[in-house]
Amino acid sequence: MSNQTKKQLKDISYSVLDLAPVKEIGAISDALHRSRDLAQHVEKLGYNRFWLAEHHNMPFIASSATSVVIGHVAAGTSTLRVGSGGVMLPNHSPLVIAEQFGTLESLFPGRIDLGLGRAPGTDQRTAFALRRGQGSMGQDFPDLLGELRSYFDPTLSQGTSPVRAVPGEGLNIPIWLLGSSLYSAQLAGELGLPYSFASHFSPKNTISALETYRSHFKPSKVLEEPYAMVGVNIIVADTDEEANFLATTLQQQFLNLIRNHEAPMQPPVEKLNASEYELAALHQQLATSIVGGPETVEKKMQEFLDETQADEMMVISSIYDHEKRKKSYKLLSDITKG
């Protein structure tokens, strides 16, 4: 691909993924208020969308009731698209999700996105508690997705159904498929839906998933051409040194996952206490993370864009200090506007 046809950073959209991170056990309300404050901040900076992720039984994430938090954030903003990144569909009845997001779209018309995943977003015991023994481990995801889409657009169902989603029916709510493997990439392509890949925690599969999505894409009522968004960890500070220091919060989060240790978000540290094995695992898990001062980040982001040719980047900035997190998004906005 020639330099003339390659996308530049200013050519694509940028969005934010938030997990409503909890800094101290019990301080859930603070985490939720910070999420809304961050959304208001990035809206002023011109970011495209603000998504919240469904996770359960995790003491460092406050966005488990994802649709409720979306309503909280959407009520505090006016132009930003707000949505799920994602709702784990096998955890729920498709009708309930149709009604929830139909309600959100009715309250905030033209501003709601519905991103869907097939993983549980939690451990197996919690998944069982959520699903009440239905036995679904995601293998019926295409059927659940088809049922959900038919509630919004009854013409997609075979025959007529006595069950209707009110609110929901007839509303045009963009449905995205999310994934960290090739499964959802192929399904999104075949259905002609937009696709978002979780490169922020599954970097190894990034390029193969995007290639799978694009090669399987079939035009639909939703999209004429494929539209791929890529999640990426980006931490920007005034200097490389400060950014690398701030990034130890993210590294500690992944270390705790590796160690199966539950802990709230940790402040940055001068030196990580980790074994060589753990450091190697961290490097692999965070391979596409972009950390540094503005010049370093701009260079790495352009390299990442050259490689992925993404249509949009969804940025995750896991920074302990809320004001420094906001500053990171401001510095990033300055970089991407050229």
What does the H/E/C string look like for the chain?
CCCCCCCCHHHCEEEEEECCECCCCCCHHHHHHHHHHHHHHHHHHCCCEEEECCCCCCCCECCCCHHHHHHHHHHCCCCCEEEEEEEEHHHCCHHHHHHHHHHHHHHCCCCEEEEEECCCCCCHHHHHHHHCCCCCCCCCHHHHHHHHHHHHCHHHCCCCCCCCCCCCCCCCCCEEEEECCHHHHHHHHHHCCCEEECCCCCHHHHHHHHHHHHHHCCCCCCCCCCCEEEEEEEEECCCHHHHHHHCHHHHHHHHHHHCCCCCCCCCCCCCCCCCHHHHHHHHHHCCCCEEECHHHHHHHHHHHHHHHCCCEEEEECCCCCHHHHHHHHHHHHHHHCC
Residue type, 106: S
Q: Can you give the pLDDT of all 338 residues of the chain as single tens digits?
A: 444 468 999 999 999 999 999 997 668 999 999 999 999 999 999 999 999 999 888 888 999 999 999 999 999 999 999 999 999 998 899 999 999 999 999 999 999 999 999 876 667 777 777 765 565 566 789 999 999 999 999 988 877 778 888 999 999 999 999 999 899 999 999 999 999 999 998 889 999 999 999 999 999 999 999 999 999 999 999 999 999 999 999 999 889 888 888 888 999 999 998 899 999 999 888 989 999 999 999 999 999 999 999 999 999 999 999 999 999 999 999 999 97
Specify the pLDDT at position 139.
77
Specify the pLDDT at position 137.
60
Specify the pLDDT at position 5.
64
Specify the pLDDT at position 18.
97
Specify the pLDDT at position 120.
66
Specify the pLDDT at position 307.
95
Q: Which residues pair with 234 in a beta bridge?
A: 290
Residue recorded with tokens 């190894």: 204
84: which 2 tokens?
């799920």
Specify the pLDDT at position 296.
98
Specify the pLDDT at position 135.
56
Q: Is 244 buried (19+), middle (13-18) or exposed (0-12) by CB count in 10 A?
A: middle
Q: How far apart are CA 7 and CA 46, in angstroms?
A: 19
* Full-model pTM: 0.93
